[in-house]
Amino acid sequence: MKDHLNGAERPLTDFPRPSVAVDTAVLTVAPGDVLSVLLVRRPAGMRPAWALPGTFLHEGERLADAVRRSLRDKAGVTGLSPQQLVVLDDPHRDARGWVLSVAHLETSPYESLAPQLSDGDDVRLAPVDSLPRLAFDHAEVVRRAVDALRDQYAEHPDPRRLVPEPFSLAQLRRVHEAVAGRELQRDTFRRLMEPQLRPTGERTAGEVGRPARMFRH
């Protein structure tokens, strides 16, 4: 329904305009089978000191382009295509003013993500279950991102391709346990996942010395 004033359509300048930001939770399974999220340090003196990579939308810019720009400029990460997760619209979420955030979710294998991270202390991977205090409502973004990832991994083998191919069922299960945040029953996991995998016909030395069957997605 259109707003009308004296029979004419009201111009957009008659309506208040929030600033629009993008923030991205990039999740990976770090060494030690720890589900972790990419964080960046905020400018000196700002508290809290850590946040998700994010930025404000530029005039005429698409959300996806702003996300890629923020990951490149804030974290040095390229080659990702985050998906929209949720819009955060609390009018008081940012003390600087009225800011809507379009939060995004992305995942990356650790082997692909780690080499892109700088050697300094301005970018880090933090375990999702022991986060530092984060700026704005970024802890809520991480929680929603983890919940979404867990839903995706509940019944399908590594849909985000976090484990390098080829892999054993044990390697696959460790990634699923990292995402789930709990131990998974081995036989139940095998019965659910193995029919959805493609055997390579190869075997390798298992963790206890026995040959382990190898699979691909």
What's this model's pTM, rounded to 2 decimal places? 0.90
8 Å CB contact between 145 and 105: yes
pLDDT tens digits in sequence order for the chain, 217 residues long = 455 555 458 887 777 788 899 999 999 999 999 999 999 999 988 899 999 999 999 999 999 999 999 999 999 999 999 999 999 998 888 888 888 999 999 999 999 999 998 767 899 999 999 999 999 999 999 999 999 999 999 999 999 999 999 999 999 999 999 999 999 999 999 999 999 999 999 887 655 667 889 999 9
Q: What is the pLDDT of residue 94?
A: 85
Task: For 172, list phi and psi in degrees, rounded to 5.
Answer: -65, -45
Q: What is the pLDDT of residue 174?
A: 97
Helix axes 169-180, 186-193, angle to 10 degrees: 110
Q: What is the pLDDT of residue 1?
A: 46
DSSP 70: H
Q: Which helix (H) or strand (E) holds 141?
A: helix 138-153
Give the pair of three-digit tokens for residue 7: 């029979």
Tell me the one-letter amino acid at 127: P
**SS3 for 204?**
strand
The vertex-150 CA angle with 147 and 153, nearest 5°, equals: 155
Q: What is the pLDDT of residue 7?
A: 47
